[in-house]
Amino acid sequence: MSFEIRHNDLLGKIGYLRTKSGSVETPLLLPVVNPNSQTIPPQQLRDTFSFNALITNSYLVWRKHREDKEVPKIHELLGFDGVIETDSGAYQILQYGDVEVQPSEIIRFQEQLNSDIAVILDVPTGEEGSKERAKWTVDETLRRADQSLKLVSREDILWVGPVQGGVYPDLVSYSAREMAKRNFSIYALGSPTPVMQQYRFETLVDMIMAAKSQLPPDKPLHLFGAGHPMMFAFAVALGCDIFDSASYALFARNGRYMTSQGTAKIEELEYFPCSCPACDKKTPEKMRRLLLMERERFLASHNLYACYSELQTIKQAILDGRLWELVETRSRSHPTLQAAFKRMLAYADKFEVETPIRKRKGPFILSEESLFRPEVTRHQQRLLERYQPPLHVKKLLLLPEEHLRPFREIPDEGGPIERLERRTDVHICSYGLTYAIVPQELLDVYPLSQTETALTPTPAATNHACIRMVAYLKKFRYSRCVMVVHEPWQEQVAESIKRKFKGKIRVHVVKADAFDTQALRTVLKALK
Protein backbone atom coordinates (compact mmCIF):
# COMPACT_ATOMS: atom_id res chain seq x y z
CA MET A 1 0.00 0.00 0.00
CA SER A 2 1.42 3.40 -0.91
CA PHE A 3 0.68 6.99 -1.82
CA GLU A 4 2.30 8.24 -5.01
CA ILE A 5 2.31 11.95 -5.77
CA ARG A 6 2.15 12.71 -9.50
CA HIS A 7 1.61 16.48 -9.67
CA ASN A 8 1.56 19.33 -7.18
CA ASP A 9 0.84 23.03 -6.90
CA LEU A 10 0.85 25.09 -3.69
CA LEU A 11 0.31 22.31 -1.10
CA GLY A 12 -2.23 20.61 -3.36
CA LYS A 13 -1.42 17.26 -4.95
CA ILE A 14 -2.73 14.83 -7.50
CA GLY A 15 -1.81 11.43 -6.15
CA TYR A 16 -2.66 7.75 -6.29
CA LEU A 17 -3.53 5.88 -3.13
CA ARG A 18 -3.16 2.13 -3.46
CA THR A 19 -5.44 -0.12 -1.41
CA LYS A 20 -6.20 -3.84 -1.52
CA SER A 21 -9.34 -3.09 -3.55
CA GLY A 22 -7.57 -0.92 -6.11
CA SER A 23 -6.07 2.52 -6.56
CA VAL A 24 -7.94 5.79 -6.17
CA GLU A 25 -6.88 9.23 -7.33
CA THR A 26 -6.65 12.16 -4.95
CA PRO A 27 -8.03 14.73 -4.27
CA LEU A 28 -10.71 12.24 -3.33
CA LEU A 29 -14.22 12.70 -1.97
CA LEU A 30 -15.76 9.80 -0.08
CA PRO A 31 -19.56 10.07 -0.09
CA VAL A 32 -20.91 9.00 3.29
CA VAL A 33 -23.21 5.99 3.03
CA ASN A 34 -25.47 4.99 5.90
CA PRO A 35 -25.23 1.18 6.05
CA ASN A 36 -28.89 0.98 7.05
CA SER A 37 -30.43 3.53 4.66
CA GLN A 38 -29.18 5.02 1.38
CA THR A 39 -30.56 7.91 -0.62
CA ILE A 40 -28.53 6.66 -3.59
CA PRO A 41 -27.47 2.99 -3.81
CA PRO A 42 -23.71 2.59 -3.18
CA GLN A 43 -22.89 0.90 -6.48
CA GLN A 44 -24.66 3.70 -8.32
CA LEU A 45 -22.19 6.12 -6.73
CA ARG A 46 -19.53 4.39 -8.81
CA ASP A 47 -21.41 3.45 -11.96
CA THR A 48 -23.34 6.71 -12.40
CA PHE A 49 -21.38 9.36 -10.52
CA SER A 50 -17.80 8.00 -10.93
CA PHE A 51 -17.02 7.82 -7.21
CA ASN A 52 -14.66 4.86 -6.82
CA ALA A 53 -14.58 5.05 -3.03
CA LEU A 54 -16.99 5.74 -0.20
CA ILE A 55 -17.05 5.83 3.58
CA THR A 56 -19.49 4.17 5.94
CA ASN A 57 -19.81 3.81 9.70
CA SER A 58 -18.52 0.54 11.16
CA TYR A 59 -20.07 1.41 14.52
CA LEU A 60 -23.56 1.35 13.02
CA VAL A 61 -22.78 -1.97 11.36
CA TRP A 62 -21.45 -3.29 14.69
CA ARG A 63 -24.62 -2.29 16.51
CA LYS A 64 -26.77 -4.18 14.01
CA HIS A 65 -24.59 -7.28 13.58
CA ARG A 66 -22.71 -7.63 16.87
CA GLU A 67 -24.77 -10.66 17.87
CA ASP A 68 -24.34 -12.40 14.51
CA LYS A 69 -22.22 -15.54 14.43
CA GLU A 70 -20.37 -14.29 11.36
CA VAL A 71 -19.43 -10.68 10.66
CA PRO A 72 -20.54 -9.58 7.16
CA LYS A 73 -18.01 -8.35 4.64
CA ILE A 74 -18.52 -4.65 4.09
CA HIS A 75 -18.31 -4.78 0.28
CA GLU A 76 -20.99 -7.45 0.14
CA LEU A 77 -23.12 -5.71 2.74
CA LEU A 78 -23.15 -2.46 0.76
CA GLY A 79 -23.06 -4.04 -2.68
CA PHE A 80 -20.09 -1.89 -3.66
CA ASP A 81 -16.98 -3.14 -5.47
CA GLY A 82 -14.81 -0.05 -5.00
CA VAL A 83 -12.69 1.16 -2.09
CA ILE A 84 -14.46 1.42 1.27
CA GLU A 85 -13.29 3.36 4.30
CA THR A 86 -14.98 2.65 7.60
CA ASP A 87 -15.29 5.20 10.39
CA SER A 88 -15.23 4.01 13.96
CA GLY A 89 -18.06 5.78 15.77
CA ALA A 90 -16.23 8.96 16.72
CA TYR A 91 -18.94 11.02 15.00
CA GLN A 92 -21.47 9.50 17.39
CA ILE A 93 -19.20 10.46 20.32
CA LEU A 94 -19.21 14.03 19.00
CA GLN A 95 -23.01 13.99 18.65
CA TYR A 96 -24.09 12.02 21.72
CA GLY A 97 -21.13 12.05 24.07
CA ASP A 98 -20.20 8.36 24.02
CA VAL A 99 -20.62 4.99 22.32
CA GLU A 100 -20.90 1.55 23.92
CA VAL A 101 -18.17 -0.03 21.80
CA GLN A 102 -14.57 -0.20 23.03
CA PRO A 103 -11.61 0.98 20.89
CA SER A 104 -10.19 -2.56 20.81
CA GLU A 105 -13.54 -4.05 19.75
CA ILE A 106 -13.95 -1.69 16.80
CA ILE A 107 -10.40 -2.39 15.62
CA ARG A 108 -11.05 -6.13 15.46
CA PHE A 109 -14.50 -5.58 13.96
CA GLN A 110 -13.17 -3.44 11.09
CA GLU A 111 -10.59 -6.09 10.30
CA GLN A 112 -13.39 -8.66 10.16
CA LEU A 113 -15.43 -6.34 7.92
CA ASN A 114 -12.48 -6.41 5.48
CA SER A 115 -12.36 -2.61 5.21
CA ASP A 116 -9.84 -1.09 2.81
CA ILE A 117 -9.26 1.97 5.00
CA ALA A 118 -10.18 2.03 8.68
CA VAL A 119 -10.18 4.65 11.44
CA ILE A 120 -9.30 4.07 15.07
CA LEU A 121 -11.87 5.12 17.69
CA ASP A 122 -10.61 8.57 18.63
CA VAL A 123 -12.22 11.21 20.85
CA PRO A 124 -13.27 14.27 18.81
CA THR A 125 -12.50 17.63 20.37
CA GLY A 126 -15.45 19.48 18.88
CA GLU A 127 -15.70 23.19 19.57
CA GLU A 128 -17.39 23.21 22.96
CA GLY A 129 -15.63 22.94 26.27
CA SER A 130 -12.45 24.35 27.72
CA LYS A 131 -8.92 24.12 26.42
CA GLU A 132 -8.20 21.68 29.24
CA ARG A 133 -10.84 19.31 27.90
CA ALA A 134 -9.48 19.80 24.38
CA LYS A 135 -6.05 18.76 25.68
CA TRP A 136 -7.62 15.67 27.25
CA THR A 137 -9.16 14.65 23.91
CA VAL A 138 -5.73 14.95 22.28
CA ASP A 139 -4.03 12.85 24.95
CA GLU A 140 -6.81 10.26 25.01
CA THR A 141 -6.74 9.96 21.22
CA LEU A 142 -2.96 9.41 21.33
CA ARG A 143 -3.40 6.79 24.04
CA ARG A 144 -6.00 5.02 21.94
CA ALA A 145 -3.72 5.24 18.89
CA ASP A 146 -0.98 3.35 20.77
CA GLN A 147 -3.49 0.79 22.01
CA SER A 148 -4.98 0.30 18.55
CA LEU A 149 -1.67 -0.13 16.73
CA LYS A 150 -0.75 -2.94 19.11
CA LEU A 151 -3.99 -4.73 18.20
CA VAL A 152 -3.75 -4.32 14.41
CA SER A 153 -3.08 -7.68 12.79
CA ARG A 154 -3.78 -6.99 9.11
CA GLU A 155 -1.18 -5.14 7.08
CA ASP A 156 -3.43 -4.88 4.01
CA ILE A 157 -5.75 -2.33 5.68
CA LEU A 158 -4.74 1.34 5.65
CA TRP A 159 -5.21 2.71 9.16
CA VAL A 160 -6.05 6.36 9.79
CA GLY A 161 -4.52 8.33 12.66
CA PRO A 162 -6.81 11.22 13.68
CA VAL A 163 -5.42 14.59 14.78
CA GLN A 164 -7.45 16.44 17.40
CA GLY A 165 -7.19 19.82 19.14
CA GLY A 166 -10.20 21.61 17.69
CA VAL A 167 -9.93 25.37 17.34
CA TYR A 168 -6.65 25.52 19.29
CA PRO A 169 -3.82 25.54 16.71
CA ASP A 170 -1.16 24.84 19.34
CA LEU A 171 -3.00 21.69 20.42
CA VAL A 172 -3.58 20.66 16.80
CA SER A 173 0.13 21.13 16.12
CA TYR A 174 1.06 19.07 19.18
CA SER A 175 -1.45 16.35 18.30
CA ALA A 176 -0.16 16.16 14.71
CA ARG A 177 3.47 16.07 15.79
CA GLU A 178 2.79 13.21 18.20
CA MET A 179 0.50 11.33 15.82
CA ALA A 180 3.17 11.55 13.11
CA LYS A 181 5.42 9.45 15.37
CA ARG A 182 2.88 6.62 15.02
CA ASN A 183 3.09 4.70 11.77
CA PHE A 184 -0.31 5.33 10.20
CA SER A 185 -0.91 5.10 6.44
CA ILE A 186 -3.21 8.13 6.45
CA TYR A 187 -3.66 11.01 8.87
CA ALA A 188 -6.87 12.92 9.41
CA LEU A 189 -7.84 16.26 10.91
CA GLY A 190 -10.82 15.82 13.20
CA SER A 191 -13.50 18.24 14.46
CA PRO A 192 -13.65 20.69 11.54
CA THR A 193 -17.39 20.19 10.91
CA PRO A 194 -18.75 22.71 13.48
CA VAL A 195 -16.24 25.29 12.24
CA MET A 196 -17.33 24.79 8.62
CA GLN A 197 -21.02 24.80 9.48
CA GLN A 198 -20.52 28.27 10.98
CA TYR A 199 -18.51 29.42 7.94
CA ARG A 200 -15.46 30.03 10.11
CA PHE A 201 -13.12 29.25 7.24
CA GLU A 202 -10.43 31.59 8.56
CA THR A 203 -10.18 29.35 11.66
CA LEU A 204 -10.18 26.27 9.44
CA VAL A 205 -7.10 27.58 7.59
CA ASP A 206 -5.15 27.76 10.86
CA MET A 207 -6.36 24.32 11.94
CA ILE A 208 -5.29 22.68 8.68
CA MET A 209 -1.91 24.42 8.56
CA ALA A 210 -1.20 23.58 12.21
CA ALA A 211 -1.71 19.90 11.37
CA LYS A 212 -0.10 19.90 7.93
CA SER A 213 3.13 21.50 9.13
CA GLN A 214 3.75 18.57 11.50
CA LEU A 215 2.63 15.60 9.39
CA PRO A 216 4.71 13.58 6.88
CA PRO A 217 4.40 15.10 3.39
CA ASP A 218 4.30 11.66 1.76
CA LYS A 219 1.15 10.56 3.62
CA PRO A 220 -2.38 11.68 2.64
CA LEU A 221 -4.32 14.05 4.89
CA HIS A 222 -8.03 13.38 5.33
CA LEU A 223 -10.22 16.33 6.34
CA PHE A 224 -13.10 14.74 8.21
CA GLY A 225 -16.60 16.00 7.45
CA ALA A 226 -15.67 18.34 4.62
CA GLY A 227 -18.03 17.84 1.71
CA HIS A 228 -19.07 21.17 0.24
CA PRO A 229 -17.59 22.10 -3.15
CA MET A 230 -17.25 25.79 -2.21
CA MET A 231 -14.32 24.97 0.09
CA PHE A 232 -12.62 22.10 -1.74
CA ALA A 233 -10.14 24.35 -3.59
CA PHE A 234 -9.05 25.98 -0.32
CA ALA A 235 -8.62 22.67 1.48
CA VAL A 236 -6.66 21.13 -1.41
CA ALA A 237 -4.40 24.18 -1.67
CA LEU A 238 -3.69 23.80 2.06
CA GLY A 239 -2.66 20.18 1.61
CA CYS A 240 -5.81 18.08 2.18
CA ASP A 241 -6.11 15.00 -0.02
CA ILE A 242 -9.25 13.21 1.11
CA PHE A 243 -12.69 14.49 2.09
CA ASP A 244 -15.85 12.84 3.28
CA SER A 245 -19.31 14.14 3.90
CA ALA A 246 -22.97 13.28 4.02
CA SER A 247 -23.77 16.85 2.97
CA TYR A 248 -24.85 15.80 -0.51
CA ALA A 249 -27.73 13.85 1.06
CA LEU A 250 -28.37 16.01 4.15
CA PHE A 251 -28.59 19.16 2.06
CA ALA A 252 -30.92 17.41 -0.37
CA ARG A 253 -33.19 16.44 2.50
CA ASN A 254 -33.48 20.14 3.36
CA GLY A 255 -34.07 21.23 -0.23
CA ARG A 256 -30.60 22.73 -0.69
CA TYR A 257 -28.74 22.87 -3.99
CA MET A 258 -24.92 22.88 -3.93
CA THR A 259 -22.64 24.90 -6.22
CA SER A 260 -18.97 25.76 -6.11
CA GLN A 261 -20.01 29.30 -5.13
CA GLY A 262 -22.27 28.30 -2.24
CA THR A 263 -25.69 26.82 -1.49
CA ALA A 264 -29.13 27.80 -2.77
CA LYS A 265 -32.61 26.73 -1.70
CA ILE A 266 -34.54 25.15 -4.54
CA GLU A 267 -37.57 27.25 -3.57
CA GLU A 268 -35.58 30.39 -4.43
CA LEU A 269 -34.22 29.25 -7.81
CA GLU A 270 -35.73 30.22 -11.13
CA TYR A 271 -32.94 28.67 -13.19
CA PHE A 272 -30.42 25.88 -12.60
CA PRO A 273 -26.86 27.23 -13.00
CA CYS A 274 -25.73 23.76 -13.98
CA SER A 275 -25.98 21.36 -16.93
CA CYS A 276 -25.05 18.14 -15.13
CA PRO A 277 -27.04 15.02 -16.07
CA ALA A 278 -29.33 15.59 -13.09
CA CYS A 279 -30.17 19.18 -14.06
CA ASP A 280 -30.12 18.89 -17.85
CA LYS A 281 -33.41 19.96 -19.45
CA LYS A 282 -35.02 20.46 -16.04
CA THR A 283 -36.28 23.59 -14.31
CA PRO A 284 -36.58 24.38 -10.61
CA GLU A 285 -40.32 24.81 -11.03
CA LYS A 286 -40.73 21.26 -12.33
CA MET A 287 -38.49 19.84 -9.60
CA ARG A 288 -40.48 21.60 -6.89
CA ARG A 289 -43.58 19.73 -8.04
CA LEU A 290 -42.00 16.33 -7.45
CA LEU A 291 -42.87 14.15 -4.50
CA LEU A 292 -40.58 14.86 -1.56
CA MET A 293 -38.60 11.62 -1.98
CA GLU A 294 -38.10 12.18 -5.72
CA ARG A 295 -37.02 15.78 -5.18
CA GLU A 296 -34.57 14.67 -2.50
CA ARG A 297 -33.05 12.12 -4.86
CA PHE A 298 -32.74 14.73 -7.61
CA LEU A 299 -30.97 17.17 -5.29
CA ALA A 300 -28.66 14.48 -3.92
CA SER A 301 -27.74 13.52 -7.49
CA HIS A 302 -27.01 17.11 -8.48
CA ASN A 303 -24.99 17.70 -5.30
CA LEU A 304 -22.82 14.67 -6.09
CA TYR A 305 -22.25 15.91 -9.64
CA ALA A 306 -21.36 19.37 -8.29
CA CYS A 307 -18.80 17.87 -5.89
CA TYR A 308 -17.28 15.66 -8.58
CA SER A 309 -17.09 18.52 -11.08
CA GLU A 310 -15.31 20.78 -8.62
CA LEU A 311 -12.72 18.11 -7.84
CA GLN A 312 -12.06 17.67 -11.57
CA THR A 313 -11.69 21.45 -11.91
CA ILE A 314 -9.18 21.45 -9.05
CA LYS A 315 -7.14 18.64 -10.59
CA GLN A 316 -6.90 20.46 -13.89
CA ALA A 317 -5.88 23.63 -12.06
CA ILE A 318 -3.07 21.68 -10.37
CA LEU A 319 -1.89 20.32 -13.73
CA ASP A 320 -1.94 23.81 -15.27
CA GLY A 321 -0.29 25.44 -12.25
CA ARG A 322 -3.40 27.55 -11.75
CA LEU A 323 -4.55 26.43 -8.31
CA TRP A 324 -3.85 29.88 -6.87
CA GLU A 325 -6.09 31.51 -9.47
CA LEU A 326 -8.86 29.02 -8.70
CA VAL A 327 -8.67 29.64 -4.96
CA GLU A 328 -8.60 33.40 -5.50
CA THR A 329 -11.61 33.17 -7.79
CA ARG A 330 -13.54 31.01 -5.32
CA SER A 331 -12.71 33.45 -2.52
CA ARG A 332 -14.83 36.08 -4.25
CA SER A 333 -18.01 34.03 -3.77
CA HIS A 334 -18.43 34.67 -0.03
CA PRO A 335 -16.97 37.17 2.48
CA THR A 336 -15.87 34.38 4.84
CA LEU A 337 -13.93 32.73 2.02
CA GLN A 338 -12.31 36.06 1.23
CA ALA A 339 -11.22 36.30 4.87
CA ALA A 340 -9.88 32.73 4.66
CA PHE A 341 -7.92 33.55 1.52
CA LYS A 342 -6.31 36.55 3.21
CA ARG A 343 -5.47 34.33 6.17
CA MET A 344 -3.75 31.92 3.77
CA LEU A 345 -1.30 34.68 2.85
CA ALA A 346 0.32 34.27 6.27
CA TYR A 347 1.54 30.87 5.07
CA ALA A 348 2.99 32.09 1.75
CA ASP A 349 6.43 30.66 2.57
CA LYS A 350 4.94 27.17 2.97
CA PHE A 351 3.35 27.34 -0.48
CA GLU A 352 6.57 28.49 -2.13
CA VAL A 353 8.53 25.45 -0.94
CA GLU A 354 6.10 22.96 -2.49
CA THR A 355 5.22 24.79 -5.72
CA PRO A 356 7.05 23.67 -8.91
CA ILE A 357 9.58 26.09 -10.38
CA ARG A 358 8.15 25.64 -13.88
CA LYS A 359 4.53 25.19 -14.89
CA ARG A 360 2.53 24.64 -18.04
CA LYS A 361 1.22 28.19 -18.03
CA GLY A 362 2.25 31.57 -16.74
CA PRO A 363 0.60 33.00 -13.64
CA PHE A 364 -2.22 35.52 -13.60
CA ILE A 365 -1.89 38.42 -11.18
CA LEU A 366 -5.47 39.25 -10.32
CA SER A 367 -5.21 41.38 -7.18
CA GLU A 368 -2.90 42.58 -4.41
CA GLU A 369 -3.24 39.14 -2.80
CA SER A 370 -1.61 37.63 -5.90
CA LEU A 371 1.63 39.33 -4.86
CA PHE A 372 1.98 36.63 -2.20
CA ARG A 373 1.73 33.73 -4.63
CA PRO A 374 4.79 31.45 -4.80
CA GLU A 375 6.05 32.61 -8.20
CA VAL A 376 6.29 36.21 -7.02
CA THR A 377 7.76 35.58 -3.58
CA ARG A 378 10.24 33.07 -5.04
CA HIS A 379 11.58 35.60 -7.56
CA GLN A 380 12.01 38.27 -4.91
CA GLN A 381 13.68 35.89 -2.47
CA ARG A 382 16.05 34.29 -4.96
CA LEU A 383 16.97 37.62 -6.53
CA LEU A 384 18.47 38.64 -3.19
CA GLU A 385 19.90 35.24 -2.26
CA ARG A 386 21.19 33.78 -5.54
CA TYR A 387 21.61 36.59 -8.06
CA GLN A 388 24.73 38.62 -8.72
CA PRO A 389 24.71 41.67 -11.06
CA PRO A 390 27.43 41.95 -13.72
CA LEU A 391 30.81 42.44 -12.07
CA HIS A 392 32.21 45.95 -11.74
CA VAL A 393 28.98 47.58 -13.00
CA LYS A 394 27.95 50.34 -10.60
CA LYS A 395 25.40 52.23 -12.71
CA LEU A 396 21.81 51.00 -12.63
CA LEU A 397 19.12 51.97 -15.15
CA LEU A 398 15.57 51.21 -14.04
CA LEU A 399 13.04 51.19 -16.88
CA PRO A 400 9.30 50.68 -16.41
CA GLU A 401 8.43 47.21 -17.64
CA GLU A 402 6.00 48.68 -20.16
CA HIS A 403 8.86 50.69 -21.69
CA LEU A 404 11.14 47.71 -22.07
CA ARG A 405 8.55 45.16 -23.24
CA PRO A 406 8.12 46.46 -26.83
CA PHE A 407 11.85 46.16 -27.41
CA ARG A 408 11.82 42.58 -26.13
CA GLU A 409 9.10 41.61 -28.59
CA ILE A 410 10.45 43.51 -31.61
CA PRO A 411 14.24 43.75 -32.25
CA ASP A 412 15.49 47.25 -31.45
CA GLU A 413 18.11 47.42 -34.16
CA GLY A 414 19.90 50.72 -33.89
CA GLY A 415 17.33 51.94 -31.36
CA PRO A 416 17.80 53.42 -27.89
CA ILE A 417 17.74 50.12 -26.02
CA GLU A 418 20.36 48.54 -28.29
CA ARG A 419 22.59 51.57 -27.82
CA LEU A 420 22.31 51.22 -24.06
CA GLU A 421 22.93 47.47 -24.16
CA ARG A 422 26.30 48.09 -25.83
CA ARG A 423 27.50 49.91 -22.75
CA THR A 424 29.36 47.70 -20.32
CA ASP A 425 29.15 50.16 -17.44
CA VAL A 426 25.33 50.16 -17.19
CA HIS A 427 23.08 47.46 -15.77
CA ILE A 428 19.57 47.59 -17.26
CA CYS A 429 16.65 46.36 -15.17
CA SER A 430 12.92 46.69 -15.54
CA TYR A 431 10.60 47.42 -12.64
CA GLY A 432 6.89 47.01 -12.01
CA LEU A 433 4.23 46.32 -9.43
CA THR A 434 4.39 42.54 -9.59
CA TYR A 435 8.03 41.48 -9.50
CA ALA A 436 9.50 44.84 -8.41
CA ILE A 437 12.96 44.64 -10.05
CA VAL A 438 13.85 42.24 -12.89
CA PRO A 439 17.38 42.30 -14.38
CA GLN A 440 17.20 42.42 -18.16
CA GLU A 441 19.17 39.20 -18.54
CA LEU A 442 16.45 37.35 -16.55
CA LEU A 443 13.45 38.69 -18.43
CA ASP A 444 12.93 35.49 -20.43
CA VAL A 445 13.20 33.23 -17.39
CA TYR A 446 9.92 31.64 -16.27
CA PRO A 447 7.61 33.10 -15.02
CA LEU A 448 8.74 36.70 -15.57
CA SER A 449 7.85 37.14 -19.24
CA GLN A 450 4.92 34.69 -19.05
CA THR A 451 2.99 36.58 -16.38
CA GLU A 452 -0.26 38.36 -17.17
CA THR A 453 -1.35 41.05 -14.73
CA ALA A 454 -4.41 43.12 -14.00
CA LEU A 455 -2.79 44.81 -11.01
CA THR A 456 -3.46 48.52 -10.50
CA PRO A 457 -1.21 50.87 -8.51
CA THR A 458 -3.07 50.83 -5.21
CA PRO A 459 -1.18 52.11 -2.13
CA ALA A 460 -0.60 48.52 -0.96
CA ALA A 461 0.72 47.33 -4.32
CA THR A 462 2.93 50.41 -4.69
CA ASN A 463 4.33 49.96 -1.19
CA HIS A 464 4.96 46.27 -1.90
CA ALA A 465 7.04 47.13 -4.99
CA CYS A 466 8.87 49.96 -3.21
CA ILE A 467 9.96 47.76 -0.29
CA ARG A 468 11.42 45.16 -2.63
CA MET A 469 13.17 47.69 -4.84
CA VAL A 470 14.78 49.23 -1.78
CA ALA A 471 15.89 45.76 -0.60
CA TYR A 472 17.54 45.13 -3.97
CA LEU A 473 19.39 48.47 -3.91
CA LYS A 474 20.56 47.85 -0.36
CA LYS A 475 21.90 44.46 -1.31
CA PHE A 476 23.90 45.39 -4.39
CA ARG A 477 25.14 48.91 -3.63
CA TYR A 478 25.17 50.67 -7.00
CA SER A 479 26.86 54.06 -6.97
CA ARG A 480 24.30 55.61 -9.32
CA CYS A 481 20.68 54.83 -10.19
CA VAL A 482 18.74 56.37 -13.05
CA MET A 483 15.03 55.69 -12.83
CA VAL A 484 12.69 56.42 -15.74
CA VAL A 485 9.12 57.21 -14.66
CA HIS A 486 5.89 58.17 -16.38
CA GLU A 487 3.11 57.31 -13.91
CA PRO A 488 2.35 58.91 -10.53
CA TRP A 489 3.02 55.70 -8.57
CA GLN A 490 6.44 55.42 -10.20
CA GLU A 491 7.25 58.96 -9.20
CA GLN A 492 6.23 58.13 -5.62
CA VAL A 493 8.55 55.14 -5.57
CA ALA A 494 11.39 57.18 -7.07
CA GLU A 495 11.01 59.86 -4.40
CA SER A 496 11.00 57.20 -1.67
CA ILE A 497 14.21 55.70 -3.05
CA LYS A 498 15.86 59.11 -3.25
CA ARG A 499 15.02 59.81 0.39
CA LYS A 500 16.11 56.36 1.50
CA PHE A 501 19.51 56.49 -0.18
CA LYS A 502 20.29 60.16 0.17
CA GLY A 503 24.05 60.52 0.36
CA LYS A 504 24.63 56.82 -0.40
CA ILE A 505 23.44 56.42 -4.00
CA ARG A 506 23.09 59.19 -6.57
CA VAL A 507 19.49 58.77 -7.76
CA HIS A 508 18.32 60.55 -10.92
CA VAL A 509 14.68 60.58 -11.99
CA VAL A 510 13.85 60.92 -15.69
CA LYS A 511 10.26 61.59 -16.72
CA ALA A 512 9.36 60.09 -20.09
CA ASP A 513 6.06 58.84 -21.49
CA ALA A 514 7.92 56.61 -23.92
CA PHE A 515 11.49 55.44 -24.20
CA ASP A 516 12.49 57.16 -27.42
CA THR A 517 15.56 59.02 -28.68
CA GLN A 518 14.78 62.09 -26.60
CA ALA A 519 14.43 60.00 -23.43
CA LEU A 520 17.69 58.23 -24.31
CA ARG A 521 19.57 61.55 -24.45
CA THR A 522 18.30 62.48 -20.99
CA VAL A 523 19.21 59.08 -19.59
CA LEU A 524 22.71 59.15 -21.10
CA LYS A 525 23.27 62.55 -19.58
CA ALA A 526 22.19 61.26 -16.14
CA LEU A 527 24.50 58.25 -16.49
CA LYS A 528 27.64 60.32 -17.08
Looking at this protein, which amino acid is placed at residue 30? L
The neighbouring-strand residues paired with 400 are 431
CB 256 within 8 A of CB 266: yes
Q: Are 376 and 239 within one domain?
A: no
Residue numbers annotated as active site: 87
The CATH number for 153's domain is: 3.20.20.105
Closest among 453, 44, 470 to 249, alpha carbons compared: 44
Out of 246, 275, 309, pick the residue that ends a domain: 246
Q: For residue 355, is it within any domain?
A: no
Residues 6+ apart with CB under 8 A from 103: 88, 120, 121, 144, 147, 148
User: Is residue 349 domain-resident?
Assistant: no
Q: Residue-wise pLDDT tens for the chain (528 aa)? A: 689 999 999 999 999 999 999 999 999 999 999 998 888 999 999 999 999 999 999 999 999 998 888 999 999 999 999 999 999 988 888 777 778 889 999 999 999 999 999 999 999 998 777 999 999 999 999 999 999 999 999 999 999 999 999 999 999 999 999 999 999 999 999 888 888 888 899 999 999 999 999 999 999 999 998 989 999 999 999 999 999 989 999 999 999 999 999 999 999 999 999 999 999 999 999 999 989 999 999 999 999 999 999 999 999 999 999 999 999 999 999 999 999 999 999 999 999 999 999 998 899 999 999 999 999 999 999 999 999 999 889 999 999 988 776 555 555 566 667 777 777 889 999 999 999 999 988 988 999 989 999 899 999 999 999 999 999 999 998 999 999 999 999 999 999 999 999 888 899 999 988 877 788 888 888 887
Residue 170 Cα distances to 177, 208, 367, angstroms: 11, 12, 32
Q: Does residue 287 belong to any structural domain of this protein?
A: no
- State the pLDDT at residue 99: 83
The Cβ of residue 514 has, within 10 Å, a number of other Cβ atoms equal to: 12
Contacts 24+ apart (CB under 8 A), 494-501: 496/466, 496/470, 497/466, 497/469, 497/470, 497/473, 500/470, 500/473, 501/473
HSE of 69, CA atoms in CB hemisphere, 13 A? 0
In a domain, 307, yes or no: no
- What lies within 8 Å, CB to CB, of 262 at 6+ separation is 230, 333, 334
Does residue 272 form part of some domain?
A: no
**E strands present in 82-157:** 83-87, 117-119
Same domain, residue pair 241 and 368: no
φ, ψ at 348 (rounded to 5°) = -55, -35
Q: What is the DSSP letter of 123?
A: -
CATH of the domain at 420: 3.40.50.10630
Q: How far is CA 477 from CA 77, 341, 431, in A?
A: 73, 37, 17
What pLDDT sits at residue 518?
83
**Within a domain: 288:** no
pLDDT in the model for residue 193: 82
Helix, strand, coil percentages (3-state) for the chain, rounded to 5, are 45, 20, 35
- CA 345 to chain CA centroid, Å, is 11
Domain extent, residue 507, equals 364-527
Domains held by the chain: number:
2
Within-domain flag for 351: no
- Cis preceding-peptide flag for 217 (omega within 30 of 0): no
Q: Is residue 469 domain-resident?
A: yes
